[in-house]
């Protein structure tokens, strides 16, 4: 099972009941056609949830984790603006990420407040699941570092 598959299977544990997993929206903006997938979607309320699984070992999240959170927020803003969803939430699994996101002064915090995108802390209840997520994230980081090193060596 790939790291992505491990992370996707554990996301379902964090979603509230009655939410569809991995909902794909077909986008049509002028002549542009595209797709946007959210981790959870409630068809009755049209609420979408993105899950930003991160495990920070320091006091501040890594730049890639911050970019992932920003990407999730931007996606929810777009879907809300286009009328596909009524509300968006992002679940983060790291206390450090949650604390960082609550800071004032960042454009990301201003954007999510302006568009009513909430960020909530949701920690896996099961220690075994938390360890599986930490290992998958660490393995994914190692794979990315190896790929970057190979590019530099070429």
pTM over 0.85? The answer is no
pLDDT tens by residue, 27-40: 999 999 999 999 99
pLDDT of amino acid 57: 60
Average pLDDT over residues 37-57: 89
Average pLDDT over residues 113-135: 73
Q: Which residue has the higher pLDDT, 118 or 142?
A: 118
Query: Which own/partner pairs from 8-11 qualify as long-range (CB within 8 Å, at least 24 positions apart)?
Result: 10/53, 10/124, 10/129, 10/132, 10/133, 11/39, 11/40, 11/51, 11/53
Which phi and psi angles does 45 have, rounded to 5°? -95, -10
Q: Is residue 43 predicted with pLDDT exceeding 60?
A: yes
Residues 58, 61: Cα–Cα separation, whole Å: 7
Highest mean pLDDT among 30-39, 61-70, 131-140: 30-39
Q: Is residue 129 predicted with pLDDT exceeding 70?
A: no
Helix (H, G, I), strand (E, B) or coil at 84: coil
DSSP secondary structure code for residue 45 in this structure: T
Q: Give the domain extent around 119.
A: 3-153
In terms of Cα–Cα distance, which of 31, 34, 3, 35 is closest to 22? 35
CATH number assigned to the domain comprising residue 146: 3.40.1350
pLDDT tens by residue, 67-117: 999 999 999 999 999 999 999 999 998 888 888 888 878 888 899 899 999
DSSP per-residue codes, 96-116:
HHHHHHT-TT-HHHHHHHHTT
pLDDT > 90 fraction of the chain, expressed in percent and rounded: 44
Q: Domains in the chain: how many in total?
A: 1
Torsion of CA 115, 25, 2, 56, to 10 degrees: 0
């Amino acid at each position: 099972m790939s790291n992505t598959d491990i992370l996707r299977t554990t996301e379902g544990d964090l979603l509230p009941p009655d939410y569809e997993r991995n909902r794909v929206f077909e986008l049509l903006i002028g002549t542009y056609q595209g797709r946007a997938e959210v981790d959870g979607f409630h068809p009755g309320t049209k609420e979408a949830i993105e899950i930003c699984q991160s495990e920070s070992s320091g006091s501040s999240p890594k730049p890639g984790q911050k970019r992932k959170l920003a990407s999730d927020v931007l996606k929810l803003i777009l879907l809300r603006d286009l009328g596909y969803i009524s509300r968006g939430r992002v679940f983060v699994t790291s206390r450090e990420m949650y604390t960082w996101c609550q800071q004032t002064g960042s454009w990301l915090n201003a954007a999510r407040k302006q568009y009513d995108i909430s960020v909530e802390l949701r920690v896996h209840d099961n220690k075994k699941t938390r360890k599986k997520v930490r290992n998958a994230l660490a393995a994914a980081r190692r794979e990315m570092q190896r790929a970057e090193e190979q590019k530099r060596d070429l």
